[in-house]
């Protein structure tokens, strides 16, 4: 399949733009090309609200975590005043990276010439160098990244002109209200590094109900899911691809496992099923009757990503003496299905290198993938 010279020209995507029933998936190059990926970084990731973590992961002053949003390194740190701030993870002296991983710190010290920053980002020490007109501490604090929070869920945006987070999320806060999102605590986050696939394949896979009996035939599909109904294209004002699956019990457990009681505040259809709001571009949530699990996609290039899977429970459950024991089957289920999905998208990535347009159509079970592909095109193509 020959890649055109101007990838952002809408004329190459007419087959994707058709109604879902007649549409083709994105062309292969959207999953393999460095040039296309560069367009996504510039026109999409650098313009939108990117989920980066949850306040319960950094509860104390000095707690920090580091992330890379399509290569852009950031630090998220809680200050002595309790505020959570985000900064570019790049020293104001000569640009070295300052922090790695997650943890707690008294201050952030650059490893190169040990310039040191307080927990609120202010420059406080430059060993061997005097503060003078050329080195003015007040001007040389860590550069902030715009950060906004919904009920503890933290998002950053590199575009100062972007509309506020709540506009991005639209109906999501109201729709999730009966789960009590403000009461959720992140209890485990597991990262699969270096998955050899384009990030969009994982987003599509999460929204593709067709693969479940095949990829997860020995695991997930044993769960008794009755009246399974995917209500695609529900009216939704936010930047999300959403679906709801009706079933009995918790979707976060394998068949035969037992866990926590349902969240008592749940209302209406949410008492029997799972609500899957996938926040564009790269955060997929699954709110089920007793907990939340959340997939984070961290693209590291056109053909690689890290996938993190985070588990959340209502705060009162996390205080139980038997919490660790009762949470085990929830983690076990994720540990089983994630490698299965990783294998599936890696095989798909390899196949997309065929020099022909083998990838030809979506079916009626994949309309959410089609909606996602078109959302990507809306942002990346020339107006």
Minimum distance, C-beta of residue 181 to Fe ion, in the bound complex (Å)? 24
Element (H, E) at 346: helix 323-351
- Output 97 or 379, the one with its CB closest to ligand FES: 97
Minimum distance, C-beta of residue 77 to ligand FES, in the bound complex (Å)? 17
What token pair was written down for 107?
Answer: 């201050």
CB-based contact 196:303 (threshold 8 Å): yes
- Output 140 or 177, the one with its CB closest to ligand FES: 140
- Output 87 or 244, the one with its CB closest to Fe ion: 244
Quick one: what does residue 341 bind among ligand FES, Fe ion, none, with the CB cut-off 5 to 8 Å set by partner type?
Answer: Fe ion
- DSSP letter string over 181-200? GGGEEEEEEEEEEEESS-HH
- Rounded Cα distance between 369 and 201, Å, is 9
Cα angle 305, 65, 69; round to 5: 35
- Output 5 or 128, the one with its CB closest to ligand FES: 128
- Output 63 or 341, the one with its CB closest to Fe ion: 341
Q: What contacts 239, CB < 8 A, 6 or more positions away?
A: 48, 49, 168, 169, 170, 279, 280, 375
Quick one: what does residue 115 bind among ligand FES, Fe ion, none, with the CB cut-off 5 to 8 Å set by partner type?
Answer: ligand FES
Quick one: what does residue 91 bind among ligand FES, Fe ion, none, with the CB cut-off 5 to 8 Å set by partner type?
Answer: ligand FES
Helices and strands of the chain, counted as H and E runs: 10, 16
**C-beta nearest to Fe ion: residue:** 341
Minimum distance, C-beta of residue 114 to ligand FES, in the bound complex (Å)? 6
Where on the chain is the footprint of Fe ion (CB under 5 A)? 341
Quick one: what does residue 110 bind among Fe ion, ligand FES, none, with the CB cut-off 5 to 8 Å set by partner type?
Answer: ligand FES
- Output 91 or 284, the one with its CB closest to ligand FES: 91
Task: For helices 323-351 and 199-206, give the axis angle rounded to 10 degrees.
Answer: 120
Residue 273 backbone class (left: φ over 0; alpha: ψ -120 to 50; beta: rest): left
Minimum distance, C-beta of residue 293 to Fe ion, in the bound complex (Å)? 13
Minimum distance, C-beta of residue 242 to ligand FES, in the bound complex (Å)? 44
Minimum distance, C-beta of residue 110 to ligand FES, in the bound complex (Å)? 3
Quick one: what does residue 214 bind among ligand FES, Fe ion, none, with the CB cut-off 5 to 8 Å set by partner type?
Answer: none
Minimum distance, C-beta of residue 63 to ligand FES, in the bound complex (Å)? 22
- DSSP letter string over 146-179? EEEEETTEEEEES-TTSPPHHHHHTTHHHHHGGG
Where on the chain is the footprint of ligand FES (CB under 6 A)? 91, 93-94, 96, 110, 112-113, 115
What token pair was written down for 174?
Answer: 């109201």
Please state whether the peptide bond connecting residue 281 to the residue before it is cis, i.e. omega within 30 degrees of 0: yes
Task: For helices 199-206 and 367-380, give the axis angle rounded to 10 degrees.
Answer: 140
Minimum distance, C-beta of residue 138 to ligand FES, in the bound complex (Å)? 17
- Output 129 or 191, the one with its CB closest to ligand FES: 129
DSSP state of 103: E
- Output 105 or 182, the one with its CB closest to ligand FES: 105
């Amino acid at each position: 399949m020959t890649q055109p010279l101007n990838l952002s020209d809408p004329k190459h995507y007419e087959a994707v733009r058709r109604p879902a029933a007649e549409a083709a998936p994105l062309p292969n190059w959207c999953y393999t090309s460095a040039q296309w990926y560069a367009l996504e970084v510039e026109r999409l990731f650098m313009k939108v609200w990117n989920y980066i973590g949850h306040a319960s992961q950094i509860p104390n002053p000095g707690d920090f975590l580091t992330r890379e949003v399509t290569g852009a390194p950031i630090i998220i740190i809680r200050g002595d005043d309790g505020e959570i701030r985000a900064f570019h993870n790049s020293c104001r002296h000569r640009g070295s990276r300052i922090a790695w991983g997650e943890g707690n710190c008294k201050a952030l010290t650059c490893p190169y010439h040990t310039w040191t920053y307080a927990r609120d980002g202010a420059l406080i020490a430059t060993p061997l160098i005097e503060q003078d007109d050329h080195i003015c501490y007040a001007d040389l604090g860590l550069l902030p990244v715009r950060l906004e929070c919904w009920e503890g869920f933290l998002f950053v945006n590199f575009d100062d002109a972007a509309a506020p987070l709540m506009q991005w999320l639209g109906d999501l806060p109201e729709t999730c209200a009966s789960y009590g999102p403000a009461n959720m605590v992140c209890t485990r986050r597991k990262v699969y590094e270096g998955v050899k696939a384009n990030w969009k394949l994982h987003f599509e896979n999460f929204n593709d109900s067709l693969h479940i009996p095949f990829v997860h035939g020995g695991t997930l599909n044993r769960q008794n899911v009755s009246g399974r109904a995917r209500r695609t294209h529900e009216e939704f004002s936010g930047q999300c691809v959403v679906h709801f699956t009706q079933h009995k019990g918790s979707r976060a457990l394998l068949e035969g496992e037992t866990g926590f009681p349902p969240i008592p505040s749940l209302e209406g259809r949410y008492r029997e099923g799972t609500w899957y709001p996938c926040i564009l571009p790269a955060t997929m949530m699954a709110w089920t009757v007793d907990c939340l699990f959340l997939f984070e996609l961290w693209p590291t290039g056109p053909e690689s990503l890290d996938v993190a899977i985070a588990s959340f429970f209502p705060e009162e459950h996390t205080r139980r003496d038997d919490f660790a024991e009762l949470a085990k089957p929830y983690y076990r289920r994720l540990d089983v299905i994630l490698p299965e999905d990783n294998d599936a998208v890696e095989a798909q990535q390899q196949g997309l290198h065929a020099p022909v347009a083998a990838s030809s159509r979506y079916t009626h079970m994949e309309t959410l993938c089609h909606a996602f592909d078109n959302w990507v095109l809306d942002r990346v193509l020339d107006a």
